[in-house]
Structure formats: structure tokens, C-alpha cells
């Protein structure tokens, strides 16, 4: 089954209450996990870091923004406990070694590494030392860069998976990179998924059909909310729709149809398929041509429609009325 992660990131805008509200809301969508981001401003940033999107009217620098997104260890533990209570796996992406230390105290099961940290071997070394599985996003990385990261993780015998991701907010259809899912599977021979920022359900649905084993996407209560990712996110309603679609696709993929055997449709075929008939009054001795033919339901009351060529040029042994069924007994 596809593992579905609802990414909250900073949608809580530093509000602990809002973070807990997202946990309750996501738990009702059918997602498997909810993901936050663990920022420790002093450890990961500086006043020199520019905004990706200058959206904030209350934070002069991105460093200030990251600082405002911080929670204490006890608060993170409270979020993790809440997730346990509602049946969601708690995941949070660390952006510093200090954040890894904090998340180890919280008790995460696995780590998600964002696209901007794929080449941060210091952080990857720190996470590797925990011995826990890693999900890596590939949004800004070339195959050459990813090859180095994959080698780094394999040398440390880390269990990892990789997500096709495009670092563009929101992601346009021509940027989805759905072809990369197959390329990752063939190149790395590990579980492959899809991290989406398109603000629509279509990309994840297609990714599932193409074999994505993990889905990750941003979730917000409303796309007009404050924050850098709101317009690249799904609403809770869209998330429910996506989870249902993914569940149905997984069911379909687990139940391949054998087109060599259609016996289960015998009864329906007798209803839907047709028999040959004539489209006009025809006299005894008439030579049948294609222009004389019609087809009528049900199958079995006349010659099969796919056998019409056999009787072209044949002579009728009796007269037929318009729309009578045509049988082999009507010929010599």
C-alpha cells in the first residue's frame, strides 16, 4: 500500500494549538503520517539567510521566522503523543544536527530529509548514526548529486527511500517529472515515492498508478492562509479525496485483469452482443449483400455479427421480413 504523508511544515505559523488542530484534522483524512519541520534557528540559519518568498509582515529576516517556528522539547513530545493517540505516525524533518538530537528525544521512527539537505553530508551522517530509515527528497538534485548521496547512505548501510520532487511552488504540470519515478526505481533499486507541491490531486494520483510507494504533499485548512506554502497545498477535503483515490488505485493494481479469460462476462455478452438481421423485406432467392444487413440484440437469435462475411453472396431459401433475424437455416 502507498504510504501517505500529510506535510504541515510551517502551516501552524508557530502556534502550538494550530499544530495540534492539524493533527486532529489529518487523522480524519486516512493519511498514514503527518510531517512537521523541526527548526532551531541558531543551529541552522543566520541573519544573512534570504527569504525564498518574502511573505511575512512580522519577520524581518528568515532567521527570525525560523525562530518563531520553534517548539520546545516538551511541546514536540506533546505533538508526538497526540499523533500516537489518533493513529498517525509523527514525522519531522530536521534542518540541523541539533534538531536530530531533539527528535531522538521525541522518539521518531524515521527521518525525512528535505531537498535542500540532500548534499548536506554532515546532517546525513548525524541521521545515519541513529540507524533509522531515511526518506530523501530530490527536488534540486541532479543524478550526479543523488548518486553521491545514495553511495554515502549505502556505505553506512542506511535503509532509505527517495522521492521525485520538483522545488517549485506551486509546481506546474510540465514540472511534475513523473517519468523520474521509473528512472529512480531502475537506477537505485529502492522504494520510490513522489513529493508534490502542485496544489492539486492529479499528480499524486498518476504517481500512484506509476508505482509511487510514498506520497507527500502539503496540507492546509485553507489555501488563503498565511504562510509560504499555502497556495502549494491541498485542503483537508482534497486530501480525503486523494486518499480515497489512492486506496482505489492500490486495490486495482493488486487485482490485475486476465484478458485471456472472459468467462465471467458470458451472461452480459449474451445481452449486449447482437445477432444478424435484415434491414428490408427480402424475397426467396435473394442474394445477400452487406447493404441488406442490420444487427439486433440479443446474441443467439441469429448468426453472430462477427460472422457476417460468411453469408455475403449466399442465396435465401425463404423470404424474410424487415428486421427478421438471419440464421444459417435461411440459406442453402
195 vs 207: CA distance, rounded Å: 10
Give the pLDDT confidence score for residue 36 in this predicted structure: 98
Q: Which pLDDT score is estimated for 245?
A: 98
Q: How confident is the model at residue 55, as a pLDDT?
A: 67
Locus of grid cell 437455416 = 329
Q: What is the pTM of this model?
A: 0.87
Neighbour count for residue 267 (Cβ, 10 Å): 8
Element (H or E) spanning 17, and its range?
helix 16-27
Nearest to 111 by CA among 90, 92, 125: 92
Domain ranges of the chain: 3-253, 263-330
Give the residue from 294, 322, 329, 323 showing the smallest Cα distance to 308. Answer: 294
Residue with the three cell numbers 527517495: 162
Q: Is the distance from CB of 296 to CB of 277 less than 8 angstroms?
A: yes
Hey, which residues does 113 pair with through a beta bridge? 136
How far from 224 is each of 50, 58, 74, 232, 240, CA to CA, in Å? 23, 17, 31, 11, 19
- Listed as ranges, residues in the chain with pLDDT below 70 are 52-56
3-state DSSP helix/strand/coil percent for the chain, to nearest 5? 40, 20, 40
Q: Sign of torsion, CA 107 111 117 123?
A: positive
Q: For 22-40, what is each residue's pLDDT tens digit?
A: 999 999 999 999 999 999 9
**Rounded-to-integer distance, Cα 176 and Cα 67, Å:** 32
Q: What is the pLDDT of residues 268-283, one digit of tens each?
A: 988 999 999 999 999 9
- Fold (topology level) of 3-253: TIM Barrel (3.20.20)
CA 97 and chain centroid, separation: 31
* pLDDT, position 61: 85
In this prediction, residue 49 carries a pLDDT of: 78
H helix runs in 117-174, sequence order: 121-128, 143-155
Which grid cell sits at 68? 518563531
DSSP 272-302: HS-EEEESS-B-TTPBP-GGGEEEESSTTSS
CA distance 264 to 194: 37
Helix (H, G, I), strand (E, B) or coil at 11: coil
CATH of domain 263-330: 3.90.1210.10
Amino acid at each position: 500500500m502507498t504510504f501517505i504523508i500529510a506535510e504541515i511544515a510551517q502551516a501552524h505559523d508557530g502556534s502550538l494549538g494550530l499544530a495540534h488542530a492539524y493533527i486532529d484534522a489529518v487523522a480524519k483524512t486516512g493519511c498514514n503520517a503527518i510531517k512537521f519541520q523541526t527548526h532551531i534557528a541558531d543551529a541552522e540559519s543566520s541573519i544573512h539567510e534570504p527569504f525564498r518568498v518574502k511573505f511575512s509582515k512580522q519577520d524581518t529576516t528568515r532567521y527570525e521566522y525560523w525562530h518563531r517556528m520553534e517548539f520546545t522539547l516538551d511541546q514536540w513530545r506533546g505533538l508526538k503523543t497526540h499523533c500516537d493517540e489518533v493513529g498517525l505516525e509523527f514525522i519531522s524533518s530536521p534542518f540541523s544536527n541539533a534538531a536530530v538530537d531533539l527528535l531522538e528525544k521525541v522518539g521518531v521512527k524515521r527521518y525525512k530529509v528535505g531537498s535542500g539537505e540532500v548534499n548536506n553530508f554532515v546532517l546525513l551522517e548525524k541521521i545515519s548514526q541513529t540507524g533509522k530509515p531515511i526518506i530523501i527528497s530530490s527536488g534540486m538534485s541532479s543524478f550526479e548529486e543523488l548518486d553521491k548521496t545514495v553511495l554515502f547512505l549505502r556505505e553506512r548501510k542506511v535503509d532509505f527511500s527517495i522521492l521525485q520532487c520538483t522545488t517549485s511552488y506551486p509546481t506546474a504540470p510540465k514540472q511534475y517529472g513523473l517519468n523520474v519515478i521509473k528512472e529512480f526505481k531502475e537506477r537505485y533499486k529502492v522504494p520510490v515515492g513522489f513529493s508534490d507541491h502542485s496544489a492539486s490531486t492529479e499528480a499524486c494520483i498518476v504517481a500512484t498508478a506509476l508505482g509511487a510507494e510514498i506520497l507527500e504533499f502539503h496540507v492546509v485548512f485553507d489555501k488563503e492562509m498565511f504562510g509560504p506554502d499555502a497556495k502549494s497545498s491541498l485542503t483537508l477535503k482534497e486530501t480525503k479525496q486523494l486518499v480515497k483515490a489512492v486506496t482505489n488505485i492500490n486495490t486495482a493494481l493488486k487485482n490485475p485483469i486476465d484478458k485471456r479469460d472472459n468467462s465471467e462476462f458470458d451472461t452480459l455478452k449474451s445481452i449486449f452482443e447482437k445477432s444478424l438481421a435484415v434491414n428490408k423485406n427480402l424475397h426467396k432467392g435473394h442474394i445477400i449483400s452487406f447493404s441488406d444487413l442490420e444487427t439486433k440484440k440479443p446474441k443467439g437469435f441469429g448468426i453472430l455479427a462477427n460472422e457476417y462475411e460468411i453469408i455475403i453472396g449466399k442465396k435465401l431459401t425463404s423470404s424474410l421480413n424487415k428486421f427478421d433475424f438471419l440464421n444459417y437455416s435461411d440459406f442453402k
